[in-house]
Structure 1
Amino acid sequence: MSDGVEDADFTVRRLLELKKVGPTVKEWTLECFRVCGINDCKGARWIRCRRFVEREIAKAETKLRNIRRRPSQTDELYYLNSYCGLAAHLGISLSLTPLPPPFLITLLIPAHSVSIPSKSTVSCETCQIKSRKIKNISRRLKRAQTNLRSHKLCLISQSKSANRLARSNKRLSKENHRLRDRVARLSERYTVVERNFRFLENANEVAQENLAEAHSGIVNLSDDRGVFSPDTVRTVMELSDYGVADERVGGVIESVCRLVGVQIDKVPSPSTVRNISLSSLTVAKMHVSERLGDAIDAGEYICLLSDETNKKGNKYQLFGAGLAKGDGGQDVMVFGLTQVADKTAKTAFDVLRERLDSLGGLGRGSEIDQFTDRFLAATTCTMSDRASTQLKFNAMIADYRASVLPKITAGWDKMTSEEQERTLEFHEFYCQLHTIANLTNVVLEILAEHERIVTGKEVPDLSPTVFAVVKEVARLFGDRSAGMHGCALEFKAWSKQNLSDCSFPSFLGHRFNVVFLLAARIFSQKQKLVQIIDECGGSKVELVKLAELLRLPLISEHLQILGMIDQLVTGPLWRVAENLKHVLETRSHASLLLSWVGHCKGDPISFFSRVSPVPSLQTIAAGTEEMLGKLLSVATSESSLEATVLLMEAMERYFKCLFVDFIDGGKYSGEVSEDTVERTQCALGHNRHIESAFGFVDRLHTHSPNMIVPRRLAKLMISKNHTTR
């Protein structure tokens, strides 16, 4: 007997019979392969069959238990003879052997015919009922088969549709990615256009307001609260910087507005101008703080400039910061004008720290408690005069800088000893303009000694007769001569009439080489001065005495020597010091100057020669060829040569002492490391900016003696640091 299944599939009944071969799934699977006639029982097919057998047997047992709870032999037979789906799962065609008795049963199954017993053979009513049921089941199976084929065709159609949709989805995904990129680009363009639109919208509003003001004919300098606009405040600060008096600022603004045909609602009152000028000190400090803070953050080096002075019985201390510029020059920021009780180095150092602390919290990104330390750590050199208090002050700066560098320098402990020494390197430079100023006393002392030798009279060390002549000419014929004398006006009118216009600067108000400049001009105009005195001033004793002194040969010799020093020494040194791109360039002109002085000491006649042995000084000699020609037009005497030898010996000692660091054997002679050159790039060759600031303060004392110190400091910083420009 058999189950009637051939070349189709396993039935549930046959699947359950596999459990009789052994207790394990492996044995069931091997029996399944044996019954199917398959020898290849390895690989993926083995795994798939094993999983299927284990799952279907468990499911069949559960199903049979559920059927037997509601006894129905027909349902049980139908279920036992249904396909389990192994062939479709493995993708094979089975050739099955019949089952041994007592498992024979004939059922109607798909794709095979089922033999139905005739009525003659069926004597039992139960069999007829079962036969009808089998027929019904067969019909239902056929319908199920038909539905299965329909569902299969539907699934195939849906699979093809899904494939088409997948391809469309892939294509649309690419298109979506492309569109997203385009949307991102358009979004960026939209952001830019929106920003430009808002800017243009604001500009349009401002233009509309300006147009409305233009149509109304009145420009409002203040808002509804009566507060002046920032542009008005800046204009007031600029006018104050230009020297316009507080009471005149409003009138100047009105005059300019009338010039351009504009009406304004109101102008600042004098008290408002004073308040704005006083508050401008904060603006000036913020400017200095931001400039220094940016330089420190950028790692730039700073040269500290300092000096002190007396003005109207008050002692003042002033500081400045030299910063290297890209073109090789230096930029100076003046700060810290403070009235002090004394000029000690300790007072100057305390004032410096106080000024730096006040600047620390005003700029960008610099903390108050670190700005001073960072500033002094970035300070690699100083510029000052040679006063003892300044020398002590420079030493205090160097010591304090050495104490803070390890604290604020990143990676200090990881630096080598050589790198630490280079970082701690500190340089002190001295104003070369003071060298020129102090040369005056050296020259006057030598001329006084020469006068004593020639005349045998007692002459004070620093007051030779030629010095009295220079001061007397400046007093009587200078730009600031008193009106009671009347000599200056007559001399100017006489000079213009004789086509020889020449002026004498006032002796007062000048600190440096005015003695040499005056001597050169007096020597060139000596004959004309004597002539005008004889013609116009015969009744004035002081003029007669001055004419007698001008006629003395010794005075002429000394005036000639002073004039030649102005043409060949002090004038060139002044311009060289002001135009140095780097302070170390002093080495070249210092060595040339000493070489020239030594040559003139051995050959004094070369001092009066037009061709200088120092070409660099000769090419930038001060004055015109006419003045130099007049100085050389008079023949030199033996007395002049003797004075020249004495003078060259004294100048040689003087210049060797002051330029000791720049000549052979000095600190900066020979080759200097690139690191030293970079660290001293911020140093100037002079301290003129501080001296100029003191001159500005002196002018404020003269013209505005009652001005308070904060406003004086504000005007100084705004003017010297070009804050409003």
Structure 2
Amino acid sequence: MLGLAEEGRDHYDRFRRAVSKIDAESKKKRKRGKDEYLKFLKNAAFTKEYFHSDCIVENNFADVGNSEQGSEETCTESSVIVKAHHQYCQTDLSCYIDLKSPAKTTSSIKKLHESCLVQYDTVVEKCRKHARVNQTLKNWRNYNKKLLLNTRNFRKSLNKLSFSNKKLHKLLGQKNQNLATLKKSLRDKDDLLQALLAKIDNVQSGKVQLKEGKSYSNETFKAVVNLKLLGVADEKVGKVIEIVGELAGVSFDSVPSASSVRNFALASLRLGQIHVKHKLDDFLEDEKSLCLASDETTKGTAKLQAFGVHAPDGTFLCVGIEPVAEKSAQTAFDVLEETVSGLPEASADFFKKVLVSVSCTMSDAARTETKFNELVSTSRSKAIPEIVSDYAKLTEPEKEKFHQFSQFFCQLHILANYTSVVLKSMLEHELVVRGLSKLEEPSVFVLIKSVSQLFGQRGSGLHGILQIWTAWCTRYHVNRYSFPAFVGNRFNILFVIASRIFFHRHHLLEFIKECEESKPALRNIKDLLENEMVTEHLHVLGLCDQLITGPLWRLSEGCDHILNTCSYSLQLQKWLETCSVSPVSFFDGTSPTTSLEVESPTNSLLLLRALVNRSPTKMSGEVVSLVCKASLEYFNRAFVDFLPGGKHCDDDKNIREMTECAPATNRNIESVFGMMSHFYDTKPNMRVD
């Protein structure tokens, strides 16, 4: 306040008002930011000129700090521009120095000095307090830093402990699981040990318990079923068990009676039905396409219908063999529905689910089976919208994929029917050669049946020729001298026997010459073997076995996919067309396709070599021409669906995937009927149902 004018009180009041305005403005600037606040302080600092100026307008201090706009306001022409300064006075002194009154100046200065000392001591004390507070705050800050560091370290340790705890819990769970498994294993072993100890006690006492409570044990049930599989009669099962017990030196508390054995058989039938149901459930769960196989036969007075399904992995499941009142497609379909729906724990729509999973059928080409396949296709189309979820939301291509359905026919039946085609051609040739108008069967067929009857593996024991023939071949070191039986073989057995007769024709003539007088039945065979036409027919039949029927049979049973028939049927067609025009091509020993030349231990290279080494004649060429033309017509009709233009010729990826489950033959169902034939022959009184 040393620079104030005489009118000190007025200047002092003006100074206080300016300080108040600056203080209010500084608060506003402080809220806006640190940089703007500092700039304001520089512009608002008091200088020496402020106290010597008489015309400074107080409102100047209200607008200080507006440096953003780049201008400062002035009061008059003589107003002083407020400039930045780092020091300004904010001390409200309680005394006023009047420089014009020397008398008062000394006392004023003294008072001012005392006041300054007091304020100085106050400020020093405040500074000390502030220093102590500041040091305390520093100590607290250091303490908090250490505390935070310890907290972080503790958190890291806690995380590590939590991770270790989880690992320990997981390990503990595994150990508990292993312990539970071990306890269960120990209990099972203990039960087994107790059972074995009980059996040992029974053996030591010489008596074995076959019953567990009031029922026979599972081991007894298994033994009875095995005895039934061996053909033991119901009333003899108990006696067999007693005989075995006597052999082992033990006795039984009781043995199953005939009625109990029959109940065991019925129970095993129930187990078989449960097995079929579980297998069908597995097929449906895998959502794989199935092939429905069916066939019918007559055994005595009973008509039987068999059903089975093929899975893509090659699994075959016999669904059932049921007696039917008549051979009709509708009856067969009703029996199929009743059989599948009657399986244990089958739901109401189980049969429809099975139908939807069936994408193709396998059967023979009989009219009844063809109509049955059509009924399956129609019922399947009706069941698809009910079974397939969200069927209405599917696109047309997706719906069409669900409705794809194929019918296949057994290729073994094609080979079986091919025999009559070849024999018919040879009969026509023989009628022309011999100049006859009518003949029941070709002479070569008579020869084949006669040789099979007298020299075959199941030949007639009345004449006793087979034993003599076997000894004769052994003496002269003749290999592969056996002939398959003609009866009991359905497919290409005629061609197999023909190739064997052609190979051994000279051996047979030599044998017959030695035994002709003692065995008059051989004279007819001798006449046929010496007939040139019959020899040519044997030659052609043998080549058919080596080049057509044998490879086709093996390929149909071993092909990877039934649609592979498209390739080899086309190659067979082209080969037959060539042979019908140029019969010489038939005798070179080359199969229609290399894929048909499947090696088999039942074939001998000697047979094929003997057939190929014989030079063709004019007569054999005529026979080949007739046979190839008839064969071409027959195979074109049999493989019409697999040849170009057929419904199975389009090798579409979806069709190939849907028909992956289809076999090329119906041999599994035929095998089931073969077993039934065995039962009818060996156990005529056995119940079919």
Q: Structure 2-normalised TM-score?
A: 0.72
Q: 1:373 and 2:352 equivalent?
A: yes
Q: 1:430 and 2:423 equivalent?
A: no
Q: CA deviation at 1:273?
A: 4.0
Separation (CA, whole Å) in 1 of partners of 2:642 and 2:609: 33
One-letter amino acid of the structure 2 residue matched with residue 356 of structure 1: V
Contact 2:202 2:209 in 1 (8 A): no
Q: 1:513 and 2:492 equivalent?
A: yes
One-letter amino acid of the structure 1 residue matched with residue 630 of structure 2: A
Q: 1:310 aligns with which of 277, 294, 298?
A: 298
Contact 1:432 1:686 in 2 (8 A): yes
Query: What is the Cα-based RMSD across aligned positions, in Å?
Result: 3.5
Corresponding position of 1:356:
340
Q: 1:334 and 2:318 equivalent?
A: yes
Q: 1:649 and 2:609 equivalent?
A: no
Contact 1:253 1:267 in 2 (8 A): no
Corresponding position of 1:676:
655
Deviations 1:389-428 (A, max 9, x none): 1111111111110011001110100011221111111101
Q: How does 1:515-594 map to 2 (within 5 A)?
A: 515-594=494-573
Deviations 1:288-346 (A, max 9, x none): 11111111122111101011111123211111101111xxxx21111221111221111
Deviations 1:506-550 (A, max 9, x none): 221111111111111122222222333332342444322222122
Aligned-pair identity (%): 35
- Seen in structure 2, the aligned counterparts of structure 1 residues 597 and 228 have a Cα distance that, compared at 3 Å, is same
Deviations 1:370-398 (A, max 9, x none): 11100011110001111111111111111
Q: 1:493 and 2:481 equivalent?
A: no
One-letter amino acid of the structure 2 residue matched with residue 578 of structure 1: E
Separation (CA, whole Å) in 2 of partners of 1:181 and 1:397: 58
Corresponding position of 1:204:
189
What SS class does the counterpart of residue 369 from structure 1 fall into?
coil
What SS class does the counterpart of residue 324 from structure 1 fall into?
coil
Corresponding position of 1:605:
584
Corresponding position of 1:296:
284
Contact 1:221 1:232 in 2 (8 A): no
Separation (CA, whole Å) in 2 of partners of 1:531 and 1:257: 59
Deviations 1:157-184 (A, max 9, x none): xxxxxxx9xx99x989969978975784
Corresponding position of 2:309:
321
Further displaced range: 558-567 or 524-533: 524-533
Corresponding position of 1:637:
617
Contact 2:563 2:651 in 1 (8 A): no
Q: CA deviation at 1:246?
A: 5.6
- Seen in structure 2, the aligned counterparts of structure 1 residues 505 and 295 have a Cα distance that, compared at 3 Å, is same
Q: 1:464 and 2:449 equivalent?
A: no
Separation (CA, whole Å) in 1 of partners of 2:196 and 2:223: 22
Separation (CA, whole Å) in 2 of partners of 1:252 and 1:576: 46
Q: CA deviation at 1:226?
A: 5.5
Corresponding position of 2:53:
none
Q: 2:273 aligns with which of 282, 285, 290?
A: 285
One-letter amino acid of the structure 1 residue matched with residue 536 of structure 2: E
One-letter amino acid of the structure 2 residue matched with residue 678 of structure 1: E
- Seen in structure 2, the aligned counterparts of structure 1 residues 679 and 624 have a Cα distance that, compared at 3 Å, is same
Q: How does 1:114-153 map to 2 (within 5 A)?
A: none
One-letter amino acid of the structure 2 residue matched with residue 473 of structure 1: V
Q: CA deviation at 1:189?
A: 4.2
Contact 1:322 1:332 in 2 (8 A): yes
Further displaced range: 231-240 or 637-646: 231-240
Corresponding position of 1:142:
none
One-letter amino acid of the structure 2 residue matched with residue 593 of structure 1: L
What SS class does the counterpart of residue 707 from structure 1 fall into?
coil
- Seen in structure 2, the aligned counterparts of structure 1 residues 257 and 331 have a Cα distance that, compared at 3 Å, is farther
Q: CA deviation at 1:251?
A: 8.2
Q: CA deviation at 1:206?
A: 3.0
Q: 2:452 aligns with which of 454, 460, 474?
A: 474
Q: 1:450 aligns with which of 426, 429, 449?
A: 429
Separation (CA, whole Å) in 2 of partners of 1:268 and 1:651: 63
Q: 1:623 aligns with which of 596, 603, 606?
A: 603
Contact 1:475 1:481 in 2 (8 A): yes
What SS class does the counterpart of residue 349 from structure 2 fall into?
helix
Contact 2:305 2:321 in 1 (8 A): yes
Q: CA deviation at 1:266?
A: 6.6
Contact 1:217 1:262 in 2 (8 A): no
What SS class does the counterpart of residue 445 from structure 1 fall into?
helix
What SS class does the counterpart of residue 335 from structure 1 fall into?
strand
Structure 2 residues without counterparts, runs of 5 or longer: 1-146
Q: How does 1:220-231 map to 2 (within 5 A)?
A: 220=208, 222-225=210-213, 227-231=215-219
Contact 2:431 2:439 in 1 (8 A): no
Q: CA deviation at 1:237?
A: 3.0
Q: CA deviation at 1:645?
A: 0.4
Separation (CA, whole Å) in 2 of partners of 1:182 and 1:663: 66
- Seen in structure 2, the aligned counterparts of structure 1 residues 299 and 612 have a Cα distance that, compared at 3 Å, is closer
Deviations 1:10-53 (A, max 9, x none): xxxxxxxxxxxxxxxxxxxxxxxxxxxxxxxxxxxxxxxxxxxx
Deviations 1:247-297 (A, max 9, x none): 7767887899999x8967478547244432332111111111111111112
What SS class does the counterpart of residue 308 from structure 1 fall into?
strand
Structure 1 residues without counterparts, runs of 5 or longer: 1-163, 711-725
Contact 1:605 1:641 in 2 (8 A): yes
Contact 1:433 1:686 in 2 (8 A): yes
Contact 2:548 2:591 in 1 (8 A): no
What SS class does the counterpart of residue 472 from structure 2 fall into?
helix
Contact 2:547 2:589 in 1 (8 A): no
Contact 1:520 1:563 in 2 (8 A): yes
Q: How does 1:225-244 map to 2 (within 5 A)?
A: 225=213, 227-241=215-229
Contact 2:572 2:592 in 1 (8 A): no
- Seen in structure 2, the aligned counterparts of structure 1 residues 499 and 298 have a Cα distance that, compared at 3 Å, is same
What SS class does the counterpart of residue 306 from structure 1 fall into?
strand
Structure with the bigger RCO (C-alpha within 8 Å, sep 6+) is 1
Q: CA deviation at 1:569?
A: 0.6
- Seen in structure 2, the aligned counterparts of structure 1 residues 207 and 436 have a Cα distance that, compared at 3 Å, is same
Q: Structure 1-normalised TM-score?
A: 0.68
Q: 2:370 aligns with which of 391, 404, 413?
A: 391
Deviations 1:658-702 (A, max 9, x none): 111211222232x52221111100100000011111111000000
- Seen in structure 2, the aligned counterparts of structure 1 residues 195 and 398 have a Cα distance that, compared at 3 Å, is same
Separation (CA, whole Å) in 1 of partners of 2:576 and 2:251: 66
Number of aligned positions between the proteins: 540
Contact 1:344 1:389 in 2 (8 A): yes
